[in-house]
Amino acid sequence: MPCGACNSLRLSSAPAGVLALALLSSLSRCSLLEPKDPAVSVLSPYFGTKSRYEDANPGLLPDPEAPRRDPELLEETCTPVQLVALIRHGTRYPTAKQIRKLRQLHTLLQARGPGEKGADATGGRNLGAALANWPLWYKDWMDGQLVEKGREDMRQLALRLASLFPALFSRENLDRLQLVTSSKHRCVESGAAFLKGLWQHYHPGVPPPDVADMECGPPRINDKLMRFFDHCEKFLTEVERNDTALYHVEAFKTGPEMQNILRKVAAILQVPVSNLNADLIQVAFFTCSFDLAIKGVKSPWCDVFDTDDAKVLEYLNDLKQYWKRGYGYTINSRSSCILFQDIFQHLDKAVEQKKRVSHICGSLCYLFVYLHKYGDYMDLV
């Protein structure tokens, strides 16, 4: 889901043919007819980086293990030589910070005196009461960890990739698979779940062993590569630890669009507007998404906002990602050079080896999986 991407994968194989680089994003293009999905709200299109994977790629709904691809891609004339995938982690819990804010809101709701100001015509009292009674089931230990659904996301992704590229994912190529992950718990776990999905592909019906006992070994942790932003001094100084770098975001948080929502939500919940702020509202909004993605339930938080509010909150998130991770500052993208250099070097090597030793099948079969933390702002597959 939503929040936090963290895998990438590369794989090469030898048979004669033309290099084809398969981009995972092409998998998300086919949207078939959407079955009635109870885990969808009118707010779903506005969750941005916190969207459910199924909402970004509705093709997952009818059969999450069935490969889909652009029919133009990899026709007879093309043979995949290497596959690289940069993969985000699976569906995860909210972070401890988000859970803390949610608890703050919950406390605020429960502190309301019964019947004060009376129930108004908006039905606000009912919604406020429903939210106060809605169990706050997120606990501190969950802190951004992968949920069971997230493991399923990764297993299914592995199965789809393996059936999309059978030549690359052949048994004899397995020891050429390289999976790299960041040290983030959800990313390490995503890598393990991905490998278990592959195991299922090769050994249907046989329970997977511990990843440490698999042929390809467990995911390798490399934060320099996968958490490049944490190792880029310039990015840390100028953006991450710079209180004024996000001044546009701060301005929007206190601007008229947000103020409107704060007033509106305060009226609906019947709490003082001075007790609310943009961060709390944003967490409430994302809670609708988390409950849908993790539990498949529509929480009353989904009823607090309409699509006009959702557009404002979507913009707020976009604005933050723009300045912190996107085009806002040049260093944001430049900090990823280390990772992309690594990817392109391996691609070059695969092409080079292919030219030289194309008769030795299998000598250039690589599969690299990079697990990183881009998930917080990048939607993949």
Ligand X SMILES: *[C@@H]1O[C@H](CO)[C@@H](O)[C@H](O)[C@H]1NC(C)=O
**Is the Cβ of residue 37 or residue 250 nearer to ligand X in the bound state?**
250
8 Å CB contact between 109 and 269: yes
Amino acid at 300: P
Q: How far is the CB of 238 from ligand X (least distance, A)?
A: 4
**Shortest reach from residue 246's CB to ligand X, in Å:** 9
Q: Which is nearer to ligand X, 245 or 339 (CB)?
A: 245
Stretch 236-255: interaction string toward ligand X, x if CB under 6 A: -xx---x-xx----------
Q: Binding mask 269-308 vs ligand X (x if CB under 6 A, - otherwise)? A: ----------------------------------------
Does the annotation mark 185 as catalytic?
no
- Asked if 83 and 276 touch (Cβ cutoff 8 Å), the reply is no
The answer for residues whose C-beta is within 8 angstroms of residue 341's C-beta and 6 or more apart is none
Q: Are 9 and 366 in contact (CB under 8 A)?
A: no
Minimal distance in Å, beta carbon 240 to ligand X? Answer: 10
Q: Which residues contact 170 (CB under 8 A, 6 or more apart)?
A: 13, 365
How do 177-181 and 220-221 pair as beta strands? parallel
H or E element in which residue 324 lies: helix 307-324
Tell me, what DSSP letter sits at residue 189? Answer: H
Q: If you ran DSSP here, which 8-state letter would residue 76 be given?
A: T
Residues from 210 through 239 that contact ligand X (CB under 6 A) = 237-238
Least separation in angstroms between residue 325's CB and ligand X is 15
| Pick 12 or 335: Cβ nearer ligand X | 335
Least CB distance to ligand X at residue 97 (A):
22
**Residue 237 or 330: which CB sits closer to ligand X?**
237
Pairing of strands 7-9, 220-221: unpaired
Closer Cβ to ligand X, 184 or 324, answer by number? 324
- Asked if 37 is part of the footprint of ligand X (rule: CB under 6 A), the reply reads no
Looking at residue 92, the DSSP 8-state letter turns out to be B
Residues marked as catalytic: 89
Residues near ligand X, by CB under 6 A: 237-238, 242, 244-245
